[in-house]
Chain A
Amino acid sequence: MSQAATPTAAPPRFDVTRVRKEFPILGRKVHGQPLVYLDNAATTQKPRVVLDALVRYYTEHNANIHRGVHYLSETATQAHEAARRTVQRFVNARDAREIVFTRNATEGINLVAHSFGQAHVREGDEIVITGMEHHSNIVPWQLLCERTGARLRVAPITDEGELVWEEVERLIGPRTKIVAVVHLSNSLGTVNPVERIVELAHQHDAAVLVDGAQSAYHLPVDVQAMDCDFYVATGHKLYGPTGIGLLYGKAERLEQMPPYQGGGDMISSVTFEKTTYNELPYKFEAGTPHIAGAIGLAAAIDYLTGVGLDQVAAHERDLLAYGTSALRQIPGLRLVGTATNKASILSFVMDGVHPHDVGTIVDRMGVAIRTGHHCTQPVMDRMGISATARASLAMYSTRDDIDTLVAAVGRAREVFA
């Protein structure tokens, strides 16, 4: 299992059976069959510690933050800010001020598109994205282009689902204001060379936003090593609650940006003549935040780092290799997304069976996968298909899960034989 993992300071040996016991939902049945949950790229299941943290917050600490002098408000504020420091350590940001809580990764991208865009993007400027972006990393930039007259440039991808590097080099230039790139593609599994992209963009003084919605729970993330200007992720894929996400931004970038939304908490003082804005990161956090969500997210991160991201990554690499060769044994099945550097995603199409039908049939056998375009229609167009069936892995996935998937896909073939 762990041929690639070289842990020095040793978390306990990775034990998937023990991990699974921490996720209550994995014990349930669906359509009378044991649940085989392989839709992790959509959302992951939650370990008991996260559920406990949510219940504990609401039963023992619930109060609004940043404004009360009473005991509960102070403890809730402390827990919320401790959660921010947990996120800071997790992505290795220099300073907790560089962590903005959002609703999800999408909101983080929209925040940057609005505020960075308002400060820096003008007519004739260019924004570079790639051909494998999720709609959430396409549409906010299209809207920005409509507002400003800037131009959206798209770096193409190969049949395998890798970036065409010469095109990336050609597209990023003096007109480029920002490059927005997915770290780990949700429909192909491709892991992009974000460090190289950052280096290239910075040569042209362009900022880089890395969409980490899929990478944060599969790959160790170090925003300082990556040197990206912005990094977004979402809590619910990180084994945490829905409705909480994170935006990392370099302090000097965030300082230069106007607020995104106005409201309480994001101000220092308000008069009808003039309002002054709060300091980082509160300038970007208008209104009562998702306090329980932040606390739940911190519990999820503590759990994940306790298990060990290196170990999780090694376990998932093993499963990806196992699943890749198992699915390839199925006649008429073709994997979509075969990049050399790939993680956690098994997207496929089958001769004579539409992905949607595959999804319905395997569901009746307890196997949850996603079917459709995965919010990446341009990827589907590029690959000449309308949809794929996608199995996606998490730390609790097993070889048994893959075996059940393969058997279920076999049944789908039988139905349509």
Chain B
Amino acid sequence: MFDLRDLYQEVILDHNKRPRNFGQLARPDRRAEGYNPLCGDQLTLQIELDGEVIRDVAFDGSGCAISKASASLMTESVKGKTLDEVRTLFEKFQEMVTADAEVEPDTDALGKLSVFAGVRAYPARVKCAVLAWHTLRSAVEGADDVATTE
């Protein structure tokens, strides 16, 4: 059970139970949908832009604890960041969840998001952790497509 706690850390359980920025924005500038065909997780992401800066962000949908907590923590960490900063953060996040076990996560860059480092030991769950990020990217790129983890 101890190694399960590496995956299901308190922060993740908390964000699963009480997701932040959950719901709709009044005036979203961009919107994207994400879907994980493997497990049926789906989410809608909305962002409000101020030039190149994400002023506000919200998500909605259903999914497992990992995908929901990942979406919740992502919204917290991208708020107020520029689109370029968000792209870099996505790369760092993706690197972390797919890295080898011995690689230390870049906690300086990732902050709270480092709690998802445990996901790398559960290859089947990596897609759950990155779904929100793929969806954010399609919102940022302005693509109308549904983002999938495939």
Q: Type the 1/0 row for B28-54, where 1 means its CB is closer than 8 Å to any CB of A.
A: 000000000011111000000000000
Task: Report how far A357 CA is from B38 CA in the complex, Å.
Answer: 14
Interface assignment of B65: CB less than 8 Å from any CB of chain A: yes
Instruction: Return the contact of A416 from the options B13, B38, B122 (Cβ within 8 A).
Output: B13
Q: Is A360 a contact partner of B40 (Cβ separation < 8 A)?
A: no
Q: Is A356 a contact partner of B8 (Cβ separation < 8 A)?
A: no
Q: Is B62 a contact partner of A386 (Cβ separation < 8 A)?
A: yes
Q: Is A415 a contact partner of B3 (Cβ separation < 8 A)?
A: no
How many contacts A-B (CB < 8 Å)?
A: 55
Q: Is B38 a contact partner of A360 (Cβ separation < 8 A)?
A: no
- Which of the listed residues B7, B40, B42 has the most CB atoms from chain A within 10 Å of its own CB? B40
Task: Report how far A180 CA is from B93 CA in the complex, Å.
Answer: 46
Q: Is A360 a contact partner of B39 (Cβ separation < 8 A)?
A: no
Q: Is B38 a contact partner of A354 (Cβ separation < 8 A)?
A: no
Task: Report how far A146 CA is from B117 CA in the complex, Å.
Answer: 46
Instruction: Return the contact of B40 from the options A361, A387, A411 (Cβ within 8 A).
Output: A387
Interface assignment of B63: CB less than 8 Å from any CB of chain A: yes
Q: Is A387 a contact partner of B13 (Cβ separation < 8 A)?
A: no
Query: Which residues of A lie under 8 Å from residue B103 when comparing CB positions?
Result: none
Asked, given contacts A354-B63, A354-B65, whether A415 binds B39 with beta carbons under 8 Å apart, the answer is: no
Asked, given contacts A364-B3, A380-B40, whether A356 binds B62 with beta carbons under 8 Å apart, the answer is: no
Instruction: Return the contact of A386 from the options B1, B7, B41 (Cβ within 8 A).
Output: B41
Query: Which residues of B lie under 8 Å from residue A380 when comparing CB positions?
Result: 40
Interface assignment of B26: CB less than 8 Å from any CB of chain A: no
Interface assignment of B64: CB less than 8 Å from any CB of chain A: yes
Task: Report how far A356 CA is from B62 CA in the complex, Å.
Answer: 12
Query: Which residues of A lie under 8 Å from residue B3 when comparing CB positions?
Result: 364
- Measured CB to CB, the closest approach of chain B to A259, in angstroms, equals 33
Q: Type the 1/0 row for B106-130, where 1 means its CB is closer than 8 Å to any CB of A.
A: 0000000000000000101100100
Interface assignment of A311: CB less than 8 Å from any CB of chain B: no
Interface assignment of A86: CB less than 8 Å from any CB of chain B: no
Task: Report how far A357 CA is from B69 CA in the complex, Å.
Answer: 12
Number of interface residues of B (CB under 8 A): 23
Asked, given contacts A360-B7, A411-B1, whether A372 binds B62 with beta carbons under 8 Å apart, the answer is: no
Q: Is B41 a contact partner of A415 (Cβ separation < 8 A)?
A: no
Query: Which residues of A lie under 8 Å from residue B122 when comparing CB positions?
Result: 360
- Measured CB to CB, the closest approach of chain A to B148, in angstroms, equals 14
Asked, given contacts A356-B128, A360-B122, whether A377 binds B40 with beta carbons under 8 Å apart, the answer is: yes
Q: Type the 1/0 row for A13-57, where 1 means its CB is closer than 8 Å to any CB of B.
A: 000000000000000000000000000000000000000000000
Interface size class of A (residues with CB under 8 A): 10 to 19
Query: Which residues of B lie under 8 Å from residue A356 when comparing CB positions?
Result: 39, 41, 63-66, 125, 128
Q: Is A360 a contact partner of B13 (Cβ separation < 8 A)?
A: no
- Measured CB to CB, the closest approach of chain A to B99, in angstroms, equals 19
Q: Type the 1/0 row for A360-388, where 1 means its CB is closer than 8 Å to any CB of B.
A: 11001000000111000100100000110
Asked, given contacts A415-B8, A416-B13, whether A364 binds B39 with beta carbons under 8 Å apart, the answer is: no
Query: Which residues of A lie under 8 Å from residue B16 when comparing CB positions?
Result: 416
- Measured CB to CB, the closest approach of chain B to A402, in angstroms, equals 21
Task: Report how far A416 CA is from B10 CA in the complex, Å.
Answer: 10
Q: Is B62 a contact partner of A415 (Cβ separation < 8 A)?
A: no
Q: Type the 1/0 row for B11-35, where 1 means its CB is closer than 8 Å to any CB of A.
A: 0010011000000000000000000
Asked, given contacts A354-B65, A360-B7, A416-B65, whether A373 binds B1 with beta carbons under 8 Å apart, the answer is: no
Query: Which residues of B lie under 8 Å from residue A371 when comparing CB positions?
Result: 39
Q: Is A361 a contact partner of B4 (Cβ separation < 8 A)?
A: yes
Query: Which residues of A lie under 8 Å from residue B65 when comparing CB positions?
Result: 353-354, 356-357, 416
Query: Which residues of B lie under 8 Å from residue A355 when comparing CB positions?
Result: 39, 64
Task: Report how far A139 CA is from B53 CA in the complex, Å.
Answer: 44
Task: Report how far A162 CA is from B8 CA in the complex, Å.
Answer: 37
Q: Is A373 a contact partner of B8 (Cβ separation < 8 A)?
A: no
- Measured CB to CB, the closest approach of chain A to B60, in angstroms, equals 14
- Measured CB to CB, the closest approach of chain A to B10, in angstroms, equals 11
A-B pairs with beta carbons under 8 Å apart, 10 shown: A354-B68, A356-B66, A357-B8, A360-B7, A361-B4, A386-B39, A386-B62, A387-B40, A411-B1, A416-B8
**A residues within 8 Å of B by Cβ?**
352-357, 360-361, 364, 371-373, 377, 380, 386-387, 411, 415-416
4 A-B pairs with the lowest CB-CB distances in the bound complex, closest first: A356-B64, A386-B40, A354-B64, A387-B40
